[in-house]
Amino acid sequence: MDRAPVYARLLELIEPFNKKGIALAEATSFADDLELDSLTVMDLVANIEDEWDINMPLNILPDLETIGQLADAVVKLKG
Amino acid sequence: MTDLLSKFDPYIAEHKGLLDTGVNDPFGVVMTKVLSPTRAVINGRETILVGTYNYMGMTFDEDVIAAGKKALEEFGAGSTGSRVLNGTFAPHIAVEQALKDFYGTKSAIVFSTGYQANLGMVSTLAGKGDYIVLDADSHASIYDGCKLGNAEVVRFRHNNVEDLDKRLGRLPAEAGKLVILEGVYSMLGDIAPLTEMVAVAKKHNAMTLVDEAHAMGFFGKHGRGVYEEQGLESEVDFVVGTFSKSVGTVGGFAVSNHPKFEILRLVCNPYRFTASLPPAVAATAEASIRKLMTAQAKRDNLWAVSRKLHAGLKAAGFRMATETPESAIIAVLLPDQVSTVAMWHQLLEHGIYCNMSRPPATPAGIFLLRCSLSAAHTLADVDVIVSRFVQARESLATMKAA
Ligand SMILES: Cc1ncc(COP(=O)(O)O)c(C=O)c1O
């Protein structure tokens, strides 16, 4: 699957959680920049799973620190 | 040297900030005397306990106490060993038999706490290459069981049957799968649509585990839990429970009819690498479980006081976590941490103890004052509880105005 449209759509899915209205980029960090807590991450992950019809196992979440890494993971999971 | 505890500085600051507002510490309550299942002395004041999970009021039951004293004298203070070495005494076998009789199952395994029962069952049942599919609002012990094990863990939105179906549908057909559910969810006190969820699990060839910690004794004909109430006894593979709520002591367990269930004793670390329950605890649990089999009057009263508290608080204008009383957990929703702690503090000052709950224990953005009823509460107690909730709210309003 093409990464560019995945990344573009991810930004749209993340925007509602962007409470501080910061500029989103590849290197934007969920914990440090967006300050998402674990419960908010849960909501975002569920939305991503539905968008691409994938399961994102909890085990991989700690390694996905930035939007770019998340985009890579979605592409990989979608296969 | 890096101070390993410095990562908790934000928590230290937050907790200090909380206490600096002059409230009692919601996480530091001390009961200097326990007078009954529903009364204790806190801060020198006799307080009505409405947040203990002592659902069936068994903690001071005469027969339970007598059984404990007898075992304490006959078997000593502790087992000093694992169940699989020197730590299995007659009372441990007897309490497992009581569980088999209570649940009508072939097997019962007792752990030292309910937390360890989930830790052990979840981490051992699902191994490398298997999948665990769990409700997002699952108890911490279930999440920790996932962390301890090697399975892939997938989460579905709370009590959402379609979400569960979708996630199971995305897994490899031939893979081992365990769906983990709870009969009653302890934060909001809502019950699960187990009939639909277990049917979906079966459709995808998944095994099921249901934690009935908050339902034992008063859901279903025999008090086995929500799964019994919904007619799923031949469908659910494993049931996990605890002695720390309706049974009135401490300990955890899993029951099952699976023909290979007993092997878990030899392969489950949270079972075999820890000391067994003190024999007196096992004996109190056995006595309590046997009495719960016929505790119809307690059951009826527990439901009566739970419904009455829900109706009373709702009529008084409090926002309830569930539209109707679904279990013996009756939770009140508050807008944020400050107002929740302030109200909790006022309640304690008015002689009411309930639980203060906040994220991440609660779902995102939800702050609760959580009441749990006991069969030992009377309808008159409920009137007092409701009136003190109202008084506490009035005191807060007066303080704000001042
Ligand atoms: C759903 C659920 N499972 C398990 C447990 C753990 O029980 P225990 O207190 O026996 O460790 C609890 C109690 O907090 C619970 O609420």
Index of the ligand 1 atom closest to the CA of residue B184: 1
Per-residue pLDDT for B398 more than 90? no
Q: Which of B141, B240, B355 for mutating ligand 1's site (highest number of atoms within 8 Å of CB)?
A: B141
Task: Categorize the per-residue pLDDT at B397 as very low, low, confident or very high, splitting at 50, 70 and 90.
Answer: confident
> Averaged over B235-264, what is the pLDDT?
98
SS3 A10: helix
Average pLDDT, chain B: 96
Cα–Cα distances (Å) from B126 to B36, B134, B153, B281, B348, in that order, read 41, 12, 10, 30, 43
Question: What is the best residue among B53, B139, B188 to mutate for testing ligand 1's pocket, by most ligand atoms within 8 Å of CB?
Answer: B139
Residue in the block written with tokens 């004793």: B265
d(CA A44, CA B289): 43
In contact, B184 and B372? CB cutoff 8 Å: no
Residue B161 is predicted with a pLDDT of: 98
CA angle B278, B62, B252 (to 5 degrees): 35
* pLDDT band at B363; cut points 50, 70, 90: confident
pTM: 0.95
pLDDT band at B84 (very low <50, low <70, confident <90, very high): very high
Task: Read off the pLDDT of residues B97-122 as tens digits, 9 standing for 90 and up.
Answer: 999 999 999 999 999 999 999 999 99
Enumerate residues 11 to 50 of chain A having a beta carbon within 8 A of any beta carbon in chain B.
37-40, 42-43, 45-46, 49-50
Q: What is the pLDDT of residues B44-69, one digit of tens each?
A: 999 999 999 999 999 999 999 999 99
CA of B384 to the centre of ligand 1 (A): 29
Burial B267-281 (b: 16+ CB within 10 A, else e): ebebbbebebbbbbb
Band the pLDDT of B364: cuts 50, 70, 90: confident
Ligand 1 centroid to residue A1 C-alpha, Å:
43
- The two three-digit tokens of residue B37, written as one number: 């299942």
| Terminal Cα-to-Cα distance of chain A (whole angstroms) | 7
Q: How confident is the model at residue B365 (pLDDT cuts 50, 70, 90)?
A: confident
Q: Is the pLDDT of residue B269 over 90?
A: yes
Q: Which of B54, B242, B288 to mutate to test the pocket of ligand 1 (most atoms within 8 A of CB)?
A: B242
* Mean pLDDT to the nearest integer, A55-60: 93
For residues B342-364, b (16+ Cβ closer than 10 Å) or e, as one string?
bbbbbbbbbbbbbbbbbbeebbe
Which residue type is seen at A12? E
pLDDT at B317 over 90: yes
Which one, of B254, B249, B241, lies nearest residue B214 by Cα? B241
Residues of B in contact with A49 (CB under 8 A): 167
pLDDT of residue B96: 98
Helical spans, DSSP H, in B49-89: 62-75
Q: Give the pLDDT confidence score for residue B353 in this predicted structure.
A: 98
Instruction: Provide the number of structural domains found in chain A.
Output: 1
**What residues of B are in contact with residue A53 (Cβ under 8 Å)?**
166, 170
- Structure tokens given for A66: 């930035």
A15 touches A23 (CB < 8 A) = no
Q: How confident is the model at residue B285 (pLDDT cuts 50, 70, 90)?
A: very high
Calculate how far, in angstroms, residue B52's C-alpha sits from the geometric centre of ligand 1: 12
Report the greatest alpha carbon distance in chain B. 67
Pairwise CB contact (< 8 Å): A55 & B153: no
Rounded Cα–Cα distance for residues B105 and B228 (Å): 13
CA distance B347 to B334: 14
Give B42's strand partners: B31, B45
Q: Give chain A positions within 8 Å (CB) of B364.
A: 37, 39-40, 42-43
Angle between helices B161-169 and B194-203 (to 10 degrees): 10
How much is the pLDDT for B76?
A: 98
**Could you tell me the distance, in angstroms and rounded to a whole number, from the CA of residue B180 to the centre of ligand 1?**
14
Distance from CA of B389 to the nearest CA of A (A): 30
Percent of chain B residues past pLDDT 70, beyond the cut: 100
Q: Which residues constitute the domain of residue A11?
A: 3-78
Rg, chain B, Cα only: 22
Q: Name the burial class of residue B222, with classes exposed (0-12), middle (13-18) and buried (19+) by CB atoms within 10 angstroms of its CB.
A: middle
Give the mean pLDDT of B221-234: 98
Q: How confident is the model at residue B359 (pLDDT cuts 50, 70, 90)?
A: confident
* Helices and strands (H and E) in chain A: how many: 3, 0
Task: State residue B192's pLDDT score.
Answer: 98
Question: Tens of pLDDT along B148-166?
Answer: 999 999 999 999 999 999 9
Strand, helix or coil for residue B288: helix
In tens, the pLDDT along A25-50 reads 999 999 889 988 888 888 899 999 99
- Mean of pLDDT values over B22-37: 95
Beta-carbon separation of A50 and B167 below 8 A: no
Please report which confidence band the pLDDT of residue B214 belongs to, taking 50, 70 and 90 as the band edges: very high
3-state DSSP call for residue A56? coil
Cα gap B223→B355, rounded to integer Å: 25
Q: Indicate the SS3 state at residue A58.
A: helix
What is the model's pLDDT at position B123? 98
Phi and psi torsions of B181, nearest 5°:
-130, 165
Helix (H) or strand (E) holding B46, with range, is strand B45-49
B161 burial level (CB within 10 Å; 0-12, 13-18, 19+): middle
Tally Cβ neighbours within 10 Å of residue B314: 17
Instruction: State phi, psi for B320 to the nearest 5 degrees.
Output: -90, 145
As a residue count, chain A comes to: 79
- The CATH number of the domain holding residue A22 is 1.10.1200.10
Q: Which of A39, A56, A57 sits opposite B363 (nearest CB)?
A: A39
Q: Is the pLDDT of residue B205 over 80?
A: yes
Q: What letter represents residue B376's amino acid?
A: A
Non-local (6+) Cβ contacts of B79 within 8 A are: B86, B87, B88, B89, B92, B275, B276, B277, B278, B279
B83, B94, B178, B197, B402 from B111: Cα distances, Å: 9, 14, 20, 27, 53
Q: d(Cα B152, Cα A56) in Å, to the nearest integer?
A: 9
Residues in chain B: 402
Alpha carbons B6 and B8: distance in angstroms, whole number: 5
SS3 B277: coil
Q: Which domains does chain B have, with CATH numbers?
A: 4-56+296-401 (3.90.1150.10), 62-292 (3.40.640.10)
